[in-house]
Amino acid sequence: MAGLVIWGLVTLLWLASLILRDASIVDPFWGTGFVITAWVYFSQAADLTSFRPWLVTMLVTVWGLRLSLHLLARNWGKGEDYRYQEFRRNGGPAWWWQSYFKVFILQGVIMWIVSAPLLVAQSGGPAGLTPLDYLGVAVWAIGFYFEAAGDFQLARFKANPANKGKLLTSGVWRYTRHPNYFGDAAQWW
């Protein structure tokens, strides 16, 4: 069911991209797509007497909405991303159709595969939360902090023209070269 929902959503998004002539509208959808997928899995497999399915769905919802809002704010008013412009140039007149498979369906398939553990996490298991659940929430919270702080600090750093060509080495960026990616991975771990 989730695969069909994702397929329908990326198809509608693709149709919108044709009207707008902007394939980069798929980027802010990435997080929202996971939120929708988590709720689809929740509606299918969740034992509503257990707190775990609610917890997993809420953590994905917080992560996905934050990511989508961040990407939307970052890209707002900037036109089509250079990656998709290059695809458009290389694809020529057939780009409109190629974009469906190379951008939208590809991201939908990746989203479906990456989200598969959500179905497992929401199916069965002990009635209550276990120490591993608490550890998982703690790792998620650390990851959320690193991703959100990393995105915020990088946006603020790039907004200062004096930093052009410089490397951000303060804040959470002093601990890892890509705290936002580290945080993202920690949340899904």
Across 6-23, average pLDDT: 94
* pLDDT, tens digit (0-9, with 9 covering 90-100), for 95-134: 888 899 999 999 999 999 999 888 888 876 777 888 999 9
- Residue 2 has a pLDDT of 84
| pLDDT, the chain, mean | 90
The answer to whether residue 20 scores a pLDDT higher than 70 is yes
Which structure tokens are listed for 144?
A: 């959320």
Neighbours of 110 (CB within 10 A): 13
Which of the two residues, 48 and 150, has the higher pLDDT score?
150
* pLDDT, tens digit (0-9, with 9 covering 90-100), for 135-175: 999 999 999 999 999 999 999 999 999 999 999 999 999 99
pLDDT bin (cut points 50, 70, 90) of residue 179 is: very high
Please report which residue ranges of 103-188 form alpha helices under DSSP H: 106-121, 131-159, 179-188
Q: Domain coordinates of the chain in residue numbers?
A: 1-125, 130-189
pLDDT bin (cut points 50, 70, 90) of residue 46 is: low
Percent of the chain at pLDDT > 90 equals 61
| Backbone torsions φ then ψ of 26, nearest 5 degrees | -70, -25
Across 4-23, average pLDDT: 94
The answer to whether residue 55 scores a pLDDT higher than 70 is yes
Q: CA-to-CA distance for 51 and 54, rounded, in angstroms?
A: 5
Q: CA-to-CA distance for 102 and 188, rounded, in angstroms?
A: 25
Q: CA-to-CA distance for 2 and 8, rounded, in angstroms?
A: 10
